[in-house]
Amino acid sequence: MSEHLKTKPPSYGHLRLFVQAMTFAAVLATAPNAAAARTLRLVALGDSLTAGYGLPPGKAFPDRLEAALRAKGWDVKVINAGVSGDTAADGLARYDWAVPQDADALIVELGGNDMLRGMKPEATKTTLAAILDKARAAHLPVLLAGMRAAPNLGGEYAGEFFAIYPALAKSYAVSLYPFFLDGVAGDLKLDQADGLHPNAQGVEIIVQKILPSVEALMSQANR
Protein backbone atom coordinates (compact mmCIF):
# COMPACT_ATOMS: atom_id res chain seq x y z
CA MET A 1 0.00 0.00 0.00
CA SER A 2 1.44 3.43 -0.91
CA GLU A 3 2.28 5.95 1.75
CA HIS A 4 -0.42 8.41 0.79
CA LEU A 5 -3.05 5.70 1.19
CA LYS A 6 -1.79 4.97 4.68
CA THR A 7 -2.21 8.66 5.71
CA LYS A 8 -5.38 9.23 7.68
CA PRO A 9 -7.58 12.10 6.55
CA PRO A 10 -7.86 14.92 9.10
CA SER A 11 -10.79 14.58 11.43
CA TYR A 12 -13.69 17.03 11.51
CA GLY A 13 -12.56 18.17 14.93
CA HIS A 14 -9.11 19.05 13.65
CA LEU A 15 -10.55 20.97 10.74
CA ARG A 16 -12.86 22.91 13.04
CA LEU A 17 -9.97 23.90 15.34
CA PHE A 18 -7.90 24.94 12.35
CA VAL A 19 -10.68 27.15 10.96
CA GLN A 20 -11.27 28.72 14.38
CA ALA A 21 -7.57 29.47 14.79
CA MET A 22 -7.34 31.08 11.36
CA THR A 23 -10.47 33.16 11.99
CA PHE A 24 -9.12 34.39 15.32
CA ALA A 25 -5.81 35.33 13.70
CA ALA A 26 -7.64 37.26 11.00
CA VAL A 27 -9.63 39.19 13.61
CA LEU A 28 -6.45 40.14 15.46
CA ALA A 29 -4.80 41.25 12.25
CA THR A 30 -7.67 43.49 11.16
CA ALA A 31 -8.68 44.94 14.56
CA PRO A 32 -6.33 47.97 14.43
CA ASN A 33 -7.40 48.74 10.87
CA ALA A 34 -11.04 48.57 11.87
CA ALA A 35 -10.42 51.04 14.71
CA ALA A 36 -8.48 53.35 12.42
CA ALA A 37 -11.36 53.30 9.91
CA ARG A 38 -13.66 55.12 12.36
CA THR A 39 -14.26 58.74 11.43
CA LEU A 40 -12.60 60.98 14.01
CA ARG A 41 -14.54 63.96 15.36
CA LEU A 42 -12.56 67.15 15.87
CA VAL A 43 -14.40 70.04 17.54
CA ALA A 44 -13.36 73.64 16.94
CA LEU A 45 -14.68 75.66 19.89
CA GLY A 46 -14.30 79.33 19.16
CA ASP A 47 -15.70 82.72 18.27
CA SER A 48 -16.31 84.45 14.92
CA LEU A 49 -12.87 83.42 13.63
CA THR A 50 -14.03 79.82 13.88
CA ALA A 51 -17.69 80.41 13.02
CA GLY A 52 -16.79 81.96 9.66
CA TYR A 53 -18.12 85.49 10.10
CA GLY A 54 -18.57 87.24 6.74
CA LEU A 55 -17.56 84.19 4.69
CA PRO A 56 -19.55 82.23 2.08
CA PRO A 57 -20.86 78.77 3.02
CA GLY A 58 -18.12 76.17 3.07
CA LYS A 59 -15.31 78.72 3.49
CA ALA A 60 -15.14 78.88 7.29
CA PHE A 61 -12.05 77.64 9.09
CA PRO A 62 -13.56 74.27 10.17
CA ASP A 63 -14.72 73.51 6.62
CA ARG A 64 -11.36 74.28 5.06
CA LEU A 65 -9.46 72.51 7.83
CA GLU A 66 -11.52 69.36 7.29
CA ALA A 67 -10.80 69.50 3.55
CA ALA A 68 -7.07 69.91 4.21
CA LEU A 69 -7.01 67.03 6.68
CA ARG A 70 -8.91 64.75 4.32
CA ALA A 71 -6.48 65.64 1.53
CA LYS A 72 -3.75 64.39 3.86
CA GLY A 73 -5.57 61.09 4.31
CA TRP A 74 -7.35 61.73 7.61
CA ASP A 75 -10.88 60.36 8.00
CA VAL A 76 -12.15 63.23 10.10
CA LYS A 77 -15.20 65.41 10.65
CA VAL A 78 -14.43 68.93 11.90
CA ILE A 79 -17.36 70.27 13.91
CA ASN A 80 -17.88 74.03 13.77
CA ALA A 81 -18.57 75.04 17.37
CA GLY A 82 -17.82 78.70 16.76
CA VAL A 83 -20.22 81.49 17.73
CA SER A 84 -19.60 85.07 16.64
CA GLY A 85 -19.13 87.48 19.52
CA ASP A 86 -18.37 84.80 22.09
CA THR A 87 -15.99 85.54 24.93
CA ALA A 88 -14.13 82.77 26.73
CA ALA A 89 -16.91 82.81 29.35
CA ASP A 90 -19.53 82.30 26.64
CA GLY A 91 -17.56 79.35 25.29
CA LEU A 92 -17.37 77.84 28.76
CA ALA A 93 -21.10 78.34 29.32
CA ARG A 94 -22.01 76.29 26.22
CA TYR A 95 -19.19 73.77 26.40
CA ASP A 96 -21.35 70.87 27.58
CA TRP A 97 -23.65 71.00 24.57
CA ALA A 98 -21.18 72.39 22.03
CA VAL A 99 -18.62 69.62 22.55
CA PRO A 100 -20.30 66.22 22.08
CA GLN A 101 -19.36 63.31 24.31
CA ASP A 102 -18.06 61.34 21.33
CA ALA A 103 -15.55 64.03 20.35
CA ASP A 104 -12.00 62.79 19.77
CA ALA A 105 -10.08 66.08 19.94
CA LEU A 106 -10.62 69.77 20.58
CA ILE A 107 -9.30 73.06 19.23
CA VAL A 108 -9.91 75.99 21.59
CA GLU A 109 -9.90 79.36 19.81
CA LEU A 110 -11.25 81.88 22.32
CA GLY A 111 -10.17 85.07 24.02
CA GLY A 112 -10.14 87.51 21.12
CA ASN A 113 -13.41 89.14 22.16
CA ASP A 114 -12.20 89.33 25.75
CA MET A 115 -9.26 91.35 24.47
CA LEU A 116 -11.39 93.59 22.26
CA ARG A 117 -13.53 94.40 25.31
CA GLY A 118 -10.48 95.15 27.41
CA MET A 119 -11.26 92.41 29.92
CA LYS A 120 -8.59 91.59 32.48
CA PRO A 121 -6.24 88.92 31.12
CA GLU A 122 -6.29 87.04 34.42
CA ALA A 123 -10.08 86.63 34.15
CA THR A 124 -9.75 85.26 30.63
CA LYS A 125 -7.03 82.90 31.79
CA THR A 126 -9.24 81.57 34.60
CA THR A 127 -12.09 80.91 32.18
CA LEU A 128 -9.90 79.20 29.61
CA ALA A 129 -8.50 77.06 32.41
CA ALA A 130 -12.04 75.95 33.26
CA ILE A 131 -12.52 74.90 29.63
CA LEU A 132 -9.29 72.92 29.74
CA ASP A 133 -10.45 71.31 32.99
CA LYS A 134 -13.53 70.03 31.17
CA ALA A 135 -11.46 68.71 28.28
CA ARG A 136 -9.07 67.00 30.69
CA ALA A 137 -11.97 65.33 32.48
CA ALA A 138 -13.16 63.99 29.11
CA HIS A 139 -9.62 62.85 28.20
CA LEU A 140 -9.68 65.04 25.10
CA PRO A 141 -6.39 66.04 23.47
CA VAL A 142 -6.43 69.82 22.99
CA LEU A 143 -4.80 72.33 20.69
CA LEU A 144 -4.96 75.77 22.30
CA ALA A 145 -4.91 78.59 19.75
CA GLY A 146 -3.43 81.81 21.09
CA MET A 147 -4.36 85.40 20.35
CA ARG A 148 -2.52 88.72 20.47
CA ALA A 149 -3.85 92.01 21.79
CA ALA A 150 -4.47 95.00 19.56
CA PRO A 151 -1.63 97.58 19.69
CA ASN A 152 -3.93 100.35 20.94
CA LEU A 153 -4.38 98.49 24.25
CA GLY A 154 -0.80 99.20 25.22
CA GLY A 155 2.32 97.14 25.70
CA GLU A 156 1.63 96.08 29.27
CA TYR A 157 -1.81 94.71 28.47
CA ALA A 158 -0.52 93.04 25.29
CA GLY A 159 2.22 91.27 27.23
CA GLU A 160 -0.12 90.02 29.93
CA PHE A 161 -2.72 88.87 27.42
CA PHE A 162 -0.34 87.04 25.10
CA ALA A 163 1.23 85.25 28.08
CA ILE A 164 -2.10 83.58 28.94
CA TYR A 165 -1.80 80.92 26.28
CA PRO A 166 1.72 79.53 26.77
CA ALA A 167 1.17 79.51 30.53
CA LEU A 168 -2.02 77.47 30.18
CA ALA A 169 -0.48 75.13 27.61
CA LYS A 170 2.40 74.41 29.98
CA SER A 171 0.19 74.03 33.03
CA TYR A 172 -2.23 71.63 31.33
CA ALA A 173 0.34 69.91 29.09
CA VAL A 174 -1.68 70.66 25.94
CA SER A 175 -0.46 71.65 22.49
CA LEU A 176 -0.14 75.35 21.69
CA TYR A 177 -0.50 77.21 18.41
CA PRO A 178 0.80 80.60 19.55
CA PHE A 179 -1.19 82.95 17.29
CA PHE A 180 -4.29 81.85 15.40
CA LEU A 181 -4.04 84.74 12.90
CA ASP A 182 -0.36 84.20 12.16
CA GLY A 183 0.46 85.37 8.64
CA VAL A 184 -2.93 87.02 8.21
CA ALA A 185 -3.39 89.75 10.85
CA GLY A 186 -2.79 93.20 9.47
CA ASP A 187 -2.61 92.09 5.83
CA LEU A 188 -5.29 93.98 3.93
CA LYS A 189 -5.26 91.41 1.14
CA LEU A 190 -6.16 88.64 3.59
CA ASP A 191 -8.58 90.53 5.83
CA GLN A 192 -12.19 91.52 5.37
CA ALA A 193 -13.11 95.20 5.30
CA ASP A 194 -13.36 95.34 9.09
CA GLY A 195 -9.66 94.55 9.42
CA LEU A 196 -10.43 91.92 12.07
CA HIS A 197 -11.70 88.84 10.27
CA PRO A 198 -9.88 86.89 7.58
CA ASN A 199 -11.36 86.63 4.11
CA ALA A 200 -11.51 83.29 2.28
CA GLN A 201 -7.89 83.62 1.15
CA GLY A 202 -6.86 84.45 4.69
CA VAL A 203 -8.59 81.34 6.03
CA GLU A 204 -6.57 79.23 3.60
CA ILE A 205 -3.35 80.74 5.00
CA ILE A 206 -4.47 80.01 8.56
CA VAL A 207 -5.25 76.41 7.64
CA GLN A 208 -1.91 75.91 5.90
CA LYS A 209 0.01 77.23 8.89
CA ILE A 210 -1.93 75.43 11.61
CA LEU A 211 -2.26 72.12 9.74
CA PRO A 212 0.94 70.47 11.11
CA SER A 213 -0.18 71.23 14.66
CA VAL A 214 -3.64 69.83 13.96
CA GLU A 215 -2.19 66.67 12.42
CA ALA A 216 -0.13 66.16 15.57
CA LEU A 217 -3.33 66.61 17.58
CA MET A 218 -5.14 64.02 15.47
CA SER A 219 -2.29 61.57 15.99
CA GLN A 220 -2.93 61.87 19.73
CA ALA A 221 -6.66 61.30 19.18
CA ASN A 222 -6.03 58.24 17.00
CA ARG A 223 -3.98 56.32 19.59
Give catalytic residue positions: 48, 194, 197
Beta strands at 76-82 and 40-46: parallel, antiparallel or unpaired: parallel
Of the candidates 203, 174, 111, 190, the one whose C-alpha atom is nearest the C-alpha of residue 148 is 111
Which residues of the chain form beta strands (DSSP E)?
40-46, 76-82, 105-109, 142-145, 175-177
CA distances from 65 to 14, 50, 182, 205, 218 (A): 54, 11, 15, 11, 12
Using CA atoms, how far apart are residues 54 and 72, in angstroms rounded to an integer? 27
